[in-house]
Amino acid sequence: MSRLRKPQWVLLALTIILSVVLSACGSNNSTTNANGNKPSEGGSSDKPVTISFIHWRGEDAAVLDNIIKKFEEENKNIKVETQVFPSDQYQSTAQAKLLDGSVGDVFASFPGAQFEAIAKAGLFTDLSGASFLANFTSSLIESGQKDGKQLAVPYQLVYNIPIYNVKLFEKYGIEVPKDWDGFLAAAEKLKQEGIVPIAFPGADIGPGQFMNPMVMNNAPDEDIFVKLEAGEAQLTDEWWVKTLTQFKELNDKGYFQKDALGTKGDAAGALFVQEKAAILATGSYQLVGNKKNNPDLQQGLIAPITVPADQAVFEGIHTTTFMLAVNSKSKHPEEAKKFLEFLSGKEIAGEYANGTGQNVTVKDVAYTSDELNAVAEWTSKKTRFQPRFTIKNAEVQKAVTSSIQAVLGGTEPAKAAADAQAIVNQQIGK
Amino acid sequence: MKKYAKLLPFFVPGIALYLALFIYPTVTGFYYSLTDWDGLSPSYQFVGADNYANVAKDIIFRKSIVNNIKFMVAVVIVQTVVSLLLALQLSKQKKVNVALRSLFFVPTILSSVSVGFIWTFVYDPSLGLLNGLLEAVGLSSWTQNWLGDAGIAIFSIAAVQAWAHIGQMIILFVAGLQAIPEELLESAKLDGATRLQLFFRVIWPLLAPAAAIVVSYTTIQSFKAFDLVFTMTGGGPAYSTEILSTYIYNSAFMNYTFGKASTASVYFLLLISFITFLQFRALRTDRVSY
């Protein structure tokens, strides 16, 4: 036996171990109670019921802790323990913890693929008929319904349409465009003035956000992506190829910042906040953050209308997310529902909204900031639910957004659409 | 035999850990690869070898293998060559070399997520340090969209991977070099060996075992580079940096196809074992005596 034989076996074993270790996922999560302290175990026989609340919104933790404190004061026999996971870990590890009911009496979920998977696993308690549902705008909680049952209540309302700098538009005499030609003309004017027309975070959230208003009137059928997954529509059809062509047009004409595909959300946001860019192609959830970074900003929402004005069916896109639910494995479902009821009160929902800078789906909430009020105005406009979230298969979703990246990288729209359709076909078993 | 029986209890903790942390997950992973489990539902169906056939045909899986091999080759070449050259310089026992070795080791102790975030900022096309530096020294034509250009993004991440782990490789090579007797090098010099001859005829044969470890370790590291890809590009743009580990993650946790992800993991295991085996075959040397 040569001298290398033994190390060979050792290394082969090491290889196998490392490969397996890769598939294991750890989780660092923080556990706090309403006071921000580590919850203590044990207690006396009159120990109150403790419910667990898990979610991914670390940025809301302080506001939610105050709300929980109020809830506990009103409900002396209920304690709420909160666990906050980073959103990527929430996808990978937190939801698995729901299975035995040990955590997540109340939990949050994303619409789309995650909602579908949790519903399929039977982890949602049917909330249909609960009195607190009347506190919500009924049209805004539909994304939490499945098979005629209200399985979750989306708490946040977001408009996934670009933000624009009102002062810059006024300074250069630009009206909010009503059609595609107007949108291009506005972008051209801004470019001529030395302003980046659209800050587009092409490296991460941009394609998934901006695709929604770009496609909304090219394919006014709200079930277009449902049909795509059913094999009844194709990405190679005119509606998607046209959308990709319009993306290409914006890129080729220099209306996105240079190297948009290498720009992440933070960098695109910085361009907008510094007023180097006039439009930020993300969504209303960034309004308050932008204002914090530049108090002089005046912001509004602007959706690209990709068709002639008389053919426009929709004015914008809305998403209802942060879907709150009660775990079907919960040992304390009534207390969990009580907590949801508390969150759905307009005063508490208002405290959450104004504290976090997020609009909510609860009715009659008094917003205190210009940004939240500007968003609230959109509730009277004709918007449709975010098309991307109607895609239930995450690989199909990725194929769609990747086709946008491919076009921005130089691929012809028809080819990018065909490449993406090939992946879709594979996913839907065609 | 009785003598060994007495030693058996000492092996129990190790064997128990090995069974619990390695054998059990491997076997269950293989078991789930034969099912359509979504990772959440209490029930699932056996689908036999369907997942294996479907994953093998999967366009993104194939892309991820190609990308991973590109990534691996780039990391192995850069990391091995650069660490060997640096080790040759730093193997001499001088105070400055000890300090430099420590300096090169620093990136190794950083978390790969932090490294990913740091380098994302460095690579930013408009605000990044790298393009800024190139422009400052008059090399504007060299500036790139490092992570946004599908043609180079995978190599940009490979460079970071190499940078992050080069310290470990230097240490391995330095240990190998310091194990070579000084007399051997001196006698080769006395026999009139040139520097190249000295390296290829004396140093390299004796260093081959260390090189084999460096190459195989680097290969394994490059297949495990999930954190860097996840934080820097998420597999984009347009799948150009999708690698096996991100494919497995997406299948399991984004698309809820745990069975398919387990299948991809089995393929991953076979591929990495095969590549490691080939590397050892290629780097195997006959026993060198001196």
DSSP states along B197-249: HIIIIIIHHHHHHHHHHHHHHHHHHHHTTHHHHHHHTTT-STTTT--HHHHHH
How many Cα atoms sit within 13 Å of B65 on the Cβ side? 16
State the Cα–Cα distance between residues A104 and A98, nearest whole angstrom: 6
Asked whether A387 and A224 are in contact (CB, 8 A), the reply is: yes
pLDDT of the residue at A24:
41
If you count residue pairs, one on A and one on B, with CB atoms under 8 Å apart, how many are there? 170
Chain A residue with Cα closest to B219: A15
**Interchain proximity B41–A122, CB inside 8 Å:** yes
**Interchain proximity A262–B40, CB inside 8 Å:** no
Which residue intervals of B58-180 are DSSP H helices?
A: 59-90, 95-109, 112-123, 129-136, 153-178
pLDDT of the residue at A46:
56
End-to-end C-alpha distance for chain A, whole angstroms: 53
Asked whether B166 and B136 are in contact (CB, 8 A), the reply is: no
Q: What is the mean pLDDT of residues B132-159?
A: 96
CA distance A229 to chain B (A): 14
Q: Which residue ranges in chain A fall short of pLDDT 50?
A: 1-8, 10-45
Asked whether B47 and B259 are in contact (CB, 8 A), the reply is: yes
Whether the bond between B237 and the residue before it is cis, its omega within 30 degrees of 0, is yes
Nearest to A11 among B145, B216, B238 (CB): B216
Tokens of B86: 């640096």
What are the C-alpha distances in Å from B69 to residues B138, B155, B274? 34, 11, 13
pLDDT of the residue at B6:
81
**Interchain proximity B220–A23, CB inside 8 Å:** no
Torsion angle in degrees (nearest 10) through CA of A282, A284, A289, A293: 70
CA distance A284 to chain B (A): 24
Residue A222 CB-density burial (10 A; 0-12 exposed, 13-18 middle, 19+ buried): middle
Kindly give, in sequence order, each residue whose CB lies less than 8 Å from that of residue A286, ignoring residues fewer than 6 positions away.
Answer: A163, A269, A280
B45: left (phi over 0), alpha (psi -120 to 50) or beta: beta
CA distance B96 to chain A (A): 33
Residue B175 in contact with partner chain A when CB distance is under 8 A: no
B 215-234 near A (Cβ less than 8 A): 216-217, 220, 223-224, 226, 230, 233-234
State the Cα–Cα distance between residues B72 and B158, nearest whole angstrom: 8
In this predicted structure, the answer to whether residue B186 has a pLDDT above a threshold of 50 is: yes
CA distance A76 to chain B (A): 34
pLDDT of the residue at A112:
87
Kindly give, in sequence order, each residue whose CB lies less than 8 Å from that of residue B258, ignoring residues fewer than 6 positions away.
Answer: B32, B37, B38, B39, B251, B252
Tokens of B29: 């992973």
Asked whether A405 and A204 are in contact (CB, 8 A), the reply is: no
Three-state secondary-structure class, residue A197: strand
pLDDT of the residue at B285:
56
pLDDT in tens, B78-122: 999 999 999 998 887 677 787 888 888 888 888 999 999 999 999
Chain A residue with Cα closest to B227: A22
Nearest to B125 among A11, A99, A262 (CB): A262
pLDDT of the residue at B189:
92
Q: What is the mean pLDDT of residues B172-179?
A: 92
In Å, how far from its chain's centre is CA A235? 23
Torsion angle in degrees (nearest 10) through CA of A396, A402, A404, A408: -170
pLDDT in tens, B223-256: 988 999 999 999 999 999 999 999 999 999 889 9
- Preferred mutation among A261, A401, A421, A426 to probe B, highest tally of B CBs within 10 A: A261
**Interchain proximity A117–B224, CB inside 8 Å:** no
State the Cα–Cα distance between residues A342 and A132, nearest whole angstrom: 9
B 122-151 near A (Cβ less than 8 A): 123-127, 145-150
How many Cα atoms sit within 13 Å of B168 on the Cβ side? 17
pLDDT in tens, A173-183: 999 999 999 99
Nearest to B255 among A113, A202, A257 (CB): A113
Which residue intervals of A346-412 are DSSP H helices?
A: 346-356, 370-376, 394-408
Tokens of A350: 């208002």
Nearest to B250 among A96, A121, A394 (CB): A394
Tokens of B245: 């580990």
How many Cα atoms sit within 13 Å of B21 on the Cβ side? 11
Nearest to B40 among A4, A95, A408 (CB): A95
Helix (H) or strand (E) run with residue A308 in it: none
Residue B40 in contact with partner chain A when CB distance is under 8 A: yes
By DSSP bridging, strand A149-150 and strand A299-301 are unpaired
In this predicted structure, the answer to whether residue B288 has a pLDDT above a threshold of 70 is: no
Instruction: Scan for tokens 């549902």, then name that residue.
Output: A133
**Interchain proximity A262–B123, CB inside 8 Å:** yes
